[in-house]
Amino acid sequence: MASRKQKTIGLIDADILAYEVASVNETRIAWEPDTKPEQYTKSLDGAHAQADYQVARLRNILNLDEVVICLSGANNFRKKILTTYKFNRKEVMRPLLLNPIKAYLTDNYPTLIQDDLEADDLLGILSTGDYLPTKDKKIVISIDKDLTQIPGWYFNPDKDTKAREITKADGNYFHYLQTLTGDWTDGYKGCPGIGPKKAEKLLAENKGKEWEAIVLAYESKGLTEADALVQAQVARICQANNYNFKTKEVTPWQPGD
């Protein structure tokens, strides 16, 4: 019997795709200074066509055999670890077409949504686990830099001309970097007083003992290892070992994972 041909599967961060498509198909007008803009939508059919075009474009660029649309579910598990996670996004106006575009993608493409998980987590889990055929090539597609934590193939549509491979060491390094610097857009602060350059220096000087160095950095600011662990757990994008689809349980990152 002939062996099955390896497929290339694109794992698409559809939170971002849907937001971008919805945004460009909306006009916002503030009639008075310092007032909340009114939102007006364009053609929903046009927005659907644009979403299809973006998926088809990715399929063409990466020569994809299949795509899987990943969308965030409700009840993000990180908010149970850190209540301020993404708190700063509550007042942000969302495009009116955002949910209709997500519904369209769900109705027309293979889609995965899971309570407690963000789209990023689903991308990481599918890329590193055996939920899809292990011999197939999986490419994570997102403009979100956080996905460079995930070992495997990655493509940033805004920057890359082809998929690039992220090693396990590369992924771990970026996770440690985020644990130190934090991410204000996602509502976690990292270690006080440590920006990217200090973080890079600290990690370069402590290869193989990164977590111990991170804990010492937090303790030097009057914090504890538990404080560092909270930041590390919300910074971490889930991989296959962090989620069980049968029990629907998240296992947050621990040192040594």
- pLDDT band at residue 146 using 50, 70 and 90 as cut-offs: very high
Q: Which of the listed residues 166, 182, 207 is the one where a domain comes to its end? A: 166
Same domain for 63 and 183: no
> What is the tally of structural domains in the chain?
2
pLDDT of residue 3: 63
Q: What is the mean pLDDT of residues 107-121?
A: 97
Residues 41 and 125 in one domain: yes
> What was the pLDDT predicted at 30?
73
Residues 58, 92 within the same domain:
yes
Residue 208 shares a structural domain with residue 142: no
> Which CATH number does the domain housing residue 182 bear?
1.10.150.20
Q: Rounded to the nearest 5°, which phi and psi values hold at 249?
A: -110, 135
Nearest-angstrom CA–CA distance, 93 and 153? 33
Domain co-membership, 136 together with 178: no
Q: Is residue 129 domain-shared with residue 179, that is, in the same domain?
A: no
Q: What angle do CA 59, 62, 65 make, to 5 degrees?
A: 55
Q: What is the pTM of this model?
A: 0.92
User: Rounded CA gap, 181 and 209, in Å?
Assistant: 18
pLDDT band at 1 (very low <50, low <70, confident <90, very high): very low
CATH number at residue 68: 3.40.50.1010
Do 132 and 49 sit in the same domain of this protein?
yes
In terms of residue numbers, what domain contains 234?
169-250
Asked which of 166, 191, 221 is the last residue of a domain, the reply is 166
State residue 113 phi and psi, 5-degree precision.
Answer: -135, 135
> Looking at the structure, do residues 25 and 137 belong to the same domain, yes or no?
yes
Q: State the helix-helix crossing angle for 119-128 and 14-24, rounded to 10 degrees.
A: 140
